[in-house]
Amino acid sequence: MIKVKGLYHSYLKDGKYAVKDVNFEVGEGEIFGFLGPSGAGKSTTQGILTGLLQLQKGDVTVAGYDIKNISRKMFNKIGVSFEQSNVYNKMTAKENLSFYARLFDVETRDPLELIELVGLKGKENIKTGEFSKGMKHRLVFARSMINNPTMWFLDEPTTGLDPAIAAAIKDIIKDRNKMGVTVFLTTHNMYIADELCDRVGFIVEGEIKLIDSPKNLKLQYGEKLVEVEYTQNGSVKKDCFSTILQKDKDALNKIINEKEILTMHTKEATLEEIFIKVTGRELV
């Protein structure tokens, strides 16, 4: 569904790249998660894939269309949910969706049904200017599926939502995917990624560090993390070490030899911990 080869993008064309040498493929029916801290280049990548940003360097095809000479028809097949909640504040929720629906050439979904689906029932005739940020974000999410897309781009679909609503959104994505929809999802929420994604790509400072399935990552790192409590200069310290990475092994060795160990046990790594181990970066 998506093929990206040697993708570079510099906003100011000044040799400073927001994404550099990005390569990945997303198969049909797959949920692919782009994970990385804010500023990593996730939205930039999605922007290029959806034709919002001009392709500068690299080869990109989406749903069979070459992004170099984009065809408006492509947008009948794809749906885009934005990080920014971009709706008309002076129009009601229903008006926003109804107007949007008419821009497509294909059959579209009932705006009221979608509004209900994202938990905004009863708010359909309220101007979105009066909505909270989270409510607007859900409306943008609902809008992105109005044309029954087979290729669905979701930029931070659950960010800023409370956990119950985030879970509901997650279920909607799962449902659509079961019907065969391919999903490209960017997030910095590891739990969502862990539960939803068939494969994840770790991106930091514009570069992809690793692509694999959460399952493989856990097999590789699972039960291979050691949590150690020890005393140092009279106070208790707690650290986590991988038993695969050489530098972690060395550090652990040093502590065992030099410090007084209080507790020590192995544990299953979360995706977040794996991310930190692999990229050396926190997910904020």
Partner 1 sequence: MKMWSSFKKELILAARGFYFYVELGFAVVIMLVILFAIPENFSSTNTEYFYFNLPEQGREISKNSLLENDTDGKIEEVEIETGGKVYPAGLIVSDEQEIYIFESEEAVRELADSERNLGVVVELDENNELFYRYYLQGYESTRLKNLLSVLLNESTVVLEERINNQEVRTLTTGFEPITERKNTIPPLVAFSGSLMGMFVMAAYIFLDKKEGVIEAYAVTPSSVWRYLLSKVFVLLLTTVVSGLIIVIPVMGFSINYGLLLLLLLTTGFFASTLGLLIASFYDNMTKAFGVIYLLFFILMVPGIAYFIPGWDPFWVKIIPTYPILQGFKEIILPKGDIVYPLLTSAGFLAGGLVIFALTNIRFKRTLSV
Instruction: Provide the binding-site residues for partner 1, judged by CB under 8 A.
Output: 43-44, 46-47, 50-54, 72-76, 78, 80, 82-91, 95, 99-100, 102-105, 140, 143, 155
- At position 14, the amino acid (one-letter code) is D
- At position 157, the amino acid (one-letter code) is P
45 near Mg ion, rule: CB under 5 A? no
Q: For residue 272, what are its two tokens? A: 């977040």
Give the containing element (helix H, strand E) for 69: none
Least distance CB 5 / ligand ADP (angstroms): 19
Q: Which of residues 55-74 bind ligand ADP (CB under 6 A)?
A: none
Q: Which does 110 bind (CB under 5 to 8 A by kind): ligand ADP, Mg ion, partner 1, none?
A: none
Instruction: Give the CA radius of gyration of the chain.
Output: 22
Q: Which of 28, 38, 99, 103 binds ligand ADP (CB under 6 A)?
A: 38
Q: Which of residues 6-25 bind ligand ADP (CB under 6 A)?
A: 11, 18
Q: Which does 91 bind (CB under 5 to 8 A by kind): Mg ion, ligand ADP, partner 1, none?
A: partner 1
Q: Which of 186, 96, 104, 185 is nearest to 148 (CA)?
A: 104
| 8 Å CB contact between 261 and 232 | no
43 near ligand ADP, rule: CB under 6 A? yes
Least distance CB 178 / partner 1 (angstroms): 24
Integer Cα distance of 169 and 202 in angstroms: 22
For β-strands 65-66 and 78-81, DSSP reports them as unpaired
Q: For residue 233, what are its two tokens? A: 């200069």
Residues that bind ligand ADP (CB under 6 A): 11, 18, 36, 38-44
